[in-house]
Amino acid sequence: MSTFDANGLMAIAAAARPFRPVEGTFVVGVTGSVASGKSALADQLAPILDPATQVISADGFLFPNRILAARGLEARKGYPESFNLSALAAALNGLRRGPVAIPAYSHVTYDVDPAAGRIVDRPVAVVVEGLALGLDRPVPPGQAGLIDCLIYIDAAEADLEAWFVARFMKLWENAEADPSSFYARFRSLDRAGAEDLAGTVWREINLPNLRDHIAPLREHADLVVTKGPDHAVTALGVRRP
């Protein structure tokens, strides 16, 4: 998991606070490419916004693998059509009003994990991280959106690819001792073969998704966090509320 430096985190938190509503739950979204550091930023930013902040992953709203397989969408996982977008929108909307059931996802099994879901009840603040967060972007003038402050993590495509391959290889390595891991099926490959597979997945699936569906959100984000090759924050762009 990438680590954000303390100064960068404080700057992001300070830039996000003016978007906080006068009352009710403060919903912050964190989006960007696969492997850009969304979950890391969400986990590290949450306690700075408020000690009681909840973190939610949009990955829990992916359709289960069996449904993706039935619809022929296995190779489109992470694309908008692979998410239950109506359920995600309903959950974000419901956070402000009462208890909401939040499903969970496992990167180890590469599927929704029914046993790990939880109930979230009108938290002070929520950071929701993941793809498919452009549900209400751009927000019509004078109307409140599902997400109060959308943060986009930006980085060079070459860096994103390197981070994705590194994450893939870590999961591949861990699968040696975990036959239940989705990545155990790739353990017959040698290291070079696994790295080649990761690169192919990036070029044929994740990169087109980034260019066609994720990167356009950068223009509608409230904060744009730009990262360098070492994950350090190099720039912070802010759209004033």
**Predicted pLDDT at 7:** 87
Burial of residue 198 (CB within 10 Å: 0-12, 13-18, 19+) is buried
> Which position has the higher pLDDT, 142 or 15?
15
Q: Any idea how long the chain is?
A: 241
Instruction: Kindly tell me if the per-residue pLDDT of 153 is higher than 90.
Output: yes
pLDDT digits (tens, 9 = 90+) for 106-148: 999 999 999 999 999 999 999 999 999 998 888 777 667 899 9
Share of the chain above pLDDT 90, in %: 89
**Predicted pLDDT at 1:** 56
- Average confidence score pLDDT of the chain: 94
Distance linking the first and last C-alpha atoms of the chain:
31
pLDDT, average across residues 6-16: 93
**Predicted pLDDT at 240:** 75
List the single range of 96-100, 136-140, 174-178, 234-238 with lowest mean pLDDT.
136-140
Share of the chain above pLDDT 70, in %: 98
Instruction: Kindly tell me if the per-residue pLDDT of 90 is higher than 90.
Output: yes
Confidence band for 189, pLDDT divided at 50, 70 and 90: very high
pLDDT, average across residues 37-45: 96
**Predicted pLDDT at 177:** 96
**Predicted pLDDT at 142:** 66
Give the angle subtended at the CA of 37 by the CAs of 168 and 162, to the nearest 5°.
45
pLDDT, average across residues 83-95: 95
- C-alpha 211/C-alpha 219 separation (Å) is 13
**Ordered strands of the 233-238 beta sheet:** 54-57, 125-129, 26-32, 149-154, 223-227, 233-238
Could you tell me how far CA 14 lies from the centroid of its own chain? 21
Instruction: Kindly tell me if the per-residue pLDDT of 4 is higher than 90.
Output: no
- C-alpha 226/C-alpha 31 separation (Å) is 12
- C-alpha 138/C-alpha 115 separation (Å) is 35
